[in-house]
Amino acid sequence: MRIKRILLLIVISQIWFSVLARAEKAPLTFDAFDGQPVGARAISLGEAFTGLANDANAPYWNPAGMALMGSNSFTACSYLQRASDAKFTDVISSDPLRGGKLVFLSFASPNGGLSLRPLSKISLSSHTNENGVEKWVDQSININEISFTAARKYQDNLYTGVSLNYINSNLALSQRTKDAISDITEVHADTGNGWSIDAGILYVASEYLTFGITARNAIGYLYWSDFDKNKLPLTWRGGMALSLPQKMTFTYDYAKAYYPDHDDIATKHVGLEQILFNTFVFRAGISGEDWNDPLKVTYTFGLGFDDKGYGLDMAMKQNKIRDSVDPDILDQVLTYIVSINLPFGQSN
């Protein structure tokens, strides 16, 4: 009898998984779970922050870095403006948030934190006319991530951190098909819920040198009611921070993202931070897939002010995109980012 029950369960499970396997994939862009890099300080350092993540942006860059925070801190990051001669739709076409301004909110302490990060806010429309059949397709995608992060000192010079992320998504799809004899409109909406885990390690080799490594979406899935589940893209990131004379810090990161339905993307990041008069900071950096290709490299600059935990950081990103009217022209894009940092509660 027990063997029959086991065989019955196996048959039922095979039928169930075969049904799931036939479910369609949700119509998402490959970078729908990427969001935007966060923190004007980290961005102005060429996004080379894995070995230096010691502020409230650590849940994104390296959860282990929160253990090195000197106090509890709240931070908010916003992309204020994008300036370019190119069309605005072309400027934001590669942005998963499609020009959305708020990219990060975080309450963090040396032991743990809570953060919110929008991942996608995309609206797409298309119109085709083939063989007398017209199709209009409108699609809307909204994905947000809430992270619960914990960090601790593992050994004398080794710190660890983990983020458990809850992901919520909403998808709306409208399709109208019109030909000589019919005009049909179909509307579909679905909600997805999922989870992922980020992990990070920070090793303090000396008072001048630290190393960090993170795995974002080390494991993670998004489940839909009507679509097949999505496996979240894994991103490995390793970096270092070297303190130089005259209150200067050099940072370097290497990152590689593994997308389930897209080619892997590897990027290099370098940053330099110079403290002036103890409270003012100048920063610069470079990042991208290929620093020799003007379409695959980004230059960053930034200024910061910090006094007793109260901070204001500003960053500017400079990159180029191909003009949609004349492909031989490369249009410059300037993106301005600001972050505020406020202490709360009692400091260590």
Distance (Å, whole) CA 280 – CA 181 = 69
Helices (H), ranges, the chain: 2-22, 40-44, 58-61, 88-91
Residue among 296, 295, 268, 298 nearest 284 (CA) = 298
Most confidently modeled of 264-268, 306-310, 323-327? 264-268
The tens digit of pLDDT for each residue in 74-100 reads 999 999 988 988 888 888 888 888 888
Could you tell me how many residues make up the chain?
348
Q: What does the pLDDT read at residue 311? A: 94
Q: How many degrees, rounded to 5, is the angle at CA 343 between CA 339 and CA 344?
A: 130
Mean pLDDT over 133-161 rounds to 93
> Which position has the token pair 């779970």?
33
Instruction: Assign 5 a pLDDT band (cuts: 50, 70, 90).
Output: low
**105 pLDDT band (50/70/90 cuts)?**
very high
pLDDT above 70: residue 290:
yes
> Which residues in 225-289 belong to E strands, given as ranges?
230-231, 234-244, 248-258, 265-276, 280-288
DSSP E strand boundaries for 65-182: 73-84, 102-108, 112-130, 133-153, 158-178
| pLDDT band (50, 70, 90) for residue 186 | confident
Q: How many CB atoms lie within 10 A of CB 308?
A: 9
Side-chain half-sphere of 255: how many Cα atoms within 13 Å? 26
**In Å, what is the CA distance from 261 to each residue of 30, 65, 120, 230?**
7, 31, 17, 10
pTM of the full structure: 0.88
Distance CA 96, CA 33 (A): 8
Please tell me what DSSP assigns to residue 20: H
Would the pLDDT of 19 be above 80?
no
% of the chain with per-residue pLDDT over 70? 93
Q: 140: which strand partners?
A: 123, 172
**28-343: what CATH class?**
mainly beta
pLDDT, position 347: 55
Q: How many CB atoms lie within 10 A of CB 265?
A: 17
Q: What is the pLDDT of residue 16?
A: 46
Angle at 34 between CA 32 and CA 37, to 5 degrees: 145
Torsion angle of alpha carbons 131, 133, 138, 139, nearest 10°?
A: -70
Asked if the model's pLDDT at residue 148 lies above 50, the reply is yes
The residue extents of the domains of the chain are: 28-343
Dihedral sign (CA 253, 203, 233, 106): negative
